[in-house]
């Protein structure tokens, strides 16, 4: 099994991440991208296996209008800097994936400027799609050419020209040899020549059989691109839409249908492909700006990590930041971020860190077969099974608690997200799910039983003492009266009093300390 089939990928749009100027005005390189080295401890805490860098090569404006495929964009730095970044990431067990923008180039690309200068005498007239001298271009050139998707600042390459293909393969060779990259994401893959993909697959796999090839595909049958002759994976836009809209519409049938259609045990059409899953990226609004209710963030990310495929996190969204396109301007989705400014105690971040640890711990969650157990509009339970290991995933998007039960062959189960046992009786598991909550249920809890020093902060046991004051997520204030032990199960129970009504309550300690959606159920006010 290849590394990418078990991977968590972190996606960065470098020009935005670094706060680079919008236009490339030339001048000396500025090593802005070097700040990514400060993020390495963050990547490791998230169990990230690979960084997917958006465009990093010299371009006119946004990176997808390439000028030079062998020179790092001077707004980001230089080749030596990027070589050191790749080396340092590799030393930390993190692979590198680059954006291969091979469908089109910028108008300042050297072969295109040669045509602008020499006209029909240029030897590069055959390098560009449908270039002819029968009339002017919309940009005022004395010739016409095809722009990608009607954008004439993006000059479409002729990938059926052997010289163009040889030129691009040489660029890939350079990336592999100079930077030691581990994979390529192909921009606008649905517009590219299939024979080019076949050739580049052979070229890359001969040099590195573990090299990952992933294409950006918006619509269509993913098998056309992801197959043994072409790419290893493609972007899963079908489930990207299904994740957020099933929450917004309170209809889990939508995402369950898509997952079963793609990868279900009863004949999924993409069962042999590990699709690239995401909830947002540089081209679409941030998840926190897409959801009608931010309480859905936690369940969306649980679904992202648990469904079949490769989970990917877009930089900054692990902190729940917002960002939406404004009048065609993509910059709100591509902000400059510094790790020192991020709230690493944010509940959604701690939730995603926990998901990464769980994903790493259970092979069935990563690559197991998918089976729906319960499907309702607002609740969903499915199983992931591999060998003798089964992981159950339960989701409740409702604003009310809900009780569920399902059959299991295990005699004991635990929710590793909350760290609390699940009641099992007569081969049935009984769940009490809080509003906006998710559970990942396993037989052996190997996540919450590690030494406390190795656990992230949210997984360490908080000491609860008599006299402490807490605020409930709905606003009520409570005082701890003590911690008791259940006489039958020996489970620790928290005894607490409502400061207003003076009513006394008892709740399992694990439940007292867990979350509702992406917020703590009880927040400590003093210590």
Range 202-219 average pLDDT: 97
Q: Domain check: are 91 and 117 in the same one?
A: no
What CATH number should be reported for the domain holding residue 399?
2.60.40.1180
Q: CB neighbours (10 Å) of residue 142?
A: 12
DSSP assignment of 442-504, as one string?
A: ESS--STTS-GGGS-GGGSPPP--TT-EEEETTS-EEEEEEEEE-TTT--EEEEEEETTT--E
User: Both tokens of residue 458?
Assistant: 């949210």
Say which DSSP state 144 is in: B
Average pLDDT of every residue of the chain: 93
Q: Is residue 452 part of a domain?
A: no
Tell whether 450 is covered by a domain.
Answer: no
Q: What is the pLDDT of residues 360-387, one digit of tens each?
A: 999 999 999 999 999 999 999 999 999 9
For residues 194 and 298, membership in a common domain is answered with yes
CATH code assigned at 201: 3.20.20.80
Whether residue 488 has pLDDT greater than 60: no
What phi, psi does 162 have (nearest 5°)? -55, -35
Same-domain check for residues 230 and 375: no
The pLDDT tens digits for 64-89 are: 999 999 999 999 999 999 999 999 99
In a domain, 455, yes or no: no
Task: Indicate if 250 and 339 belong to the same structural domain.
Answer: yes
Q: Is 390 helix (H, G, I), strand (E, B) or coil?
A: strand
The total number of structural domains that make up the chain: 4
Regarding whether 136 and 66 lie in a shared domain, the answer is no
pTM for this prediction: 0.85
Do residues 333 and 194 share a domain? yes
- Among residues 334, 364, 394, the one where a domain terminates is 364
Q: Which two tokens stand for residue 10?
A: 């972190």
Torsion of CA 499, 501, 505, 509, to 10 degrees: -30
**Last residue of one domain, picked from the residues 342, 364, 386:** 364
Which domain does 149 fall in, by range?
104-158
Same structural domain, 166 and 176: yes
Q: How far is CA 8 from the centre of its chain?
A: 7
491 and 355 belong to one structural domain: no
- 177 & 250 share domain: yes
Could you give the CA distance from residue 108 to residue 67 in angstroms, rounded to a whole number? Answer: 6
pLDDT over 50 at 461, yes or no = no
- At residue 521, does pLDDT exceed 90? no
Question: Residue 507: pLDDT above 90?
Answer: no
Give the pLDDT score at 516. Answer: 67
Query: Which CATH number does the domain housing residue 143 bear?
Result: 3.90.400.10
Q: What are phi and psi of 512, to 5 degrees?
A: -60, -35
Whether 284 is covered by a domain: the verdict is yes
Predicted confidence at residue 465, as pLDDT, reads: 85
pLDDT recorded at residue 170: 98
Same domain for 249 and 377, yes or no, is: no
Q: Is the residue at 118 inside a domain?
A: yes
Question: Is 319 inside any structural domain?
Answer: yes
The answer to whether residues 358 and 485 belong to one domain is no
Is residue 263 domain-shared with residue 197, that is, in the same domain?
yes
pLDDT tens-digit profile of 251-275? 999 999 999 999 987 779 998 899 9
Tokens of 17: 């991440």
Boundary (domain end) residue, out of 139, 158, 177: 158
């Amino acid at each position: 099994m290849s590394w990418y089939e078990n991977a968590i990928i972190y996606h960065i749009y470098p020009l935005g991440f670094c706060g680079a100027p919008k236009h490339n005005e030339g001048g000396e390189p500025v090593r802005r991208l070097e700040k990514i080295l400060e993020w390495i401890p963050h990547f490791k805490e998230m169990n990230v296996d690979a960084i997917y860098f958006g465009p990093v090569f010299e371009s006119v404006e946004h990176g997808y209008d390439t000028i030079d495929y062998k020179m790092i964009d001077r707004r980001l730095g230089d080749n030596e800097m990027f070589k050191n970044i790749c080396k340092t990431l590799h030393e930390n067990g993190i692979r590198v994936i680059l954006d291969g923008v091979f469908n089109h180039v910028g108008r300042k690309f050297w072969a295109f400027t040669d045509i602008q200068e020499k006209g029909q005498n240029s030897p590069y007239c055959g390098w560009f799609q449908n270039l002819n001298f029968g009339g002017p271009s919309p940009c005022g050139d004395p010739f016409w050419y095809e722009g990608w998707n009607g954008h004439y600042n993006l000059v479409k390459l002729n990938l059926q020209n052997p010289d163009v293909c040889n030129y691009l393969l040489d660029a890939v060779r350079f990336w592999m040899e100079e930077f030691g990259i581990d994979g390529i994401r192909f921009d606008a893959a649905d517009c590219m020549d299939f024979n080019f993909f076949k050739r580049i697959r052979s070229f890359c796999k001969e040099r590195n059989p573990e090299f990952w090839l992933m294409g950006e595909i918006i619509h269509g049958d993913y098998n056309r691109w992801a197959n043994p002759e072409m790419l290893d994976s493609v972007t899963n836009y079908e489930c990207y839409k299904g994740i957020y809209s099933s929450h917004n519409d309170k209809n889990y049938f939508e995402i369950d249908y898509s997952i079963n259609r793609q990868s279900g045990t009863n004949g999924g059409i993409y069962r042999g492909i590990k699709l690239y899953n995401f909830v947002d990226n540089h081209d679409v609004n941030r998840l926190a700006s897409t959801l009608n209710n931010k309480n859905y963030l936690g369940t969306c990310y649980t679904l992202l990590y648990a469904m079949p495929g490769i989970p990917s996190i877009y930089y900054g969204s692990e902190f729940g930041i917002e960002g939406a396109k404004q009048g065609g301007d993509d910059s709100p989705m591509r902000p400059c971020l510094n790790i020192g400014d991020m709230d690493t105690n944010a509940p959604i971040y701690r939730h995603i860190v926990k998901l990464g640890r769980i994903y790493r711990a259970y092979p069935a969650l990563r690559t197991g077969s998918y089976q729906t157990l319960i499907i309702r509009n607002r609740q969903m339970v499915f199983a992931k099974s591999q060998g003798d290991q089964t992981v159950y995933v339960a989701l409740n998007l409702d604003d009310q608690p809900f009780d569920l039960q399902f059959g299991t062959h295990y005699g004991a189960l635990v929710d590793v997200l909350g760290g609390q046992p699940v009641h099992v009786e007569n081969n049935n598991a009984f769940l009490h799910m809080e509003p906006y909550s998710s559970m990942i249920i396993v037989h052996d809890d190997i996540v919450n039983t590690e030494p406390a020093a190795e656990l992230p902060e949210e997984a360490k046991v908080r000491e609860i003492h008599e006299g402490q004051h807490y605020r409930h997520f709905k606003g009520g204030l409570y005082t701890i009266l003590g911690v008791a032990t259940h006489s039958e199960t020996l489970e620790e129970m928290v005894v607490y009093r409502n400061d207003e009504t003076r009513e006394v309550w008892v709740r399992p300690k694990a439940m007292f300390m867990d979350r509702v959606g992406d917020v703590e159920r009880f927040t400590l006010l003093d210590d």
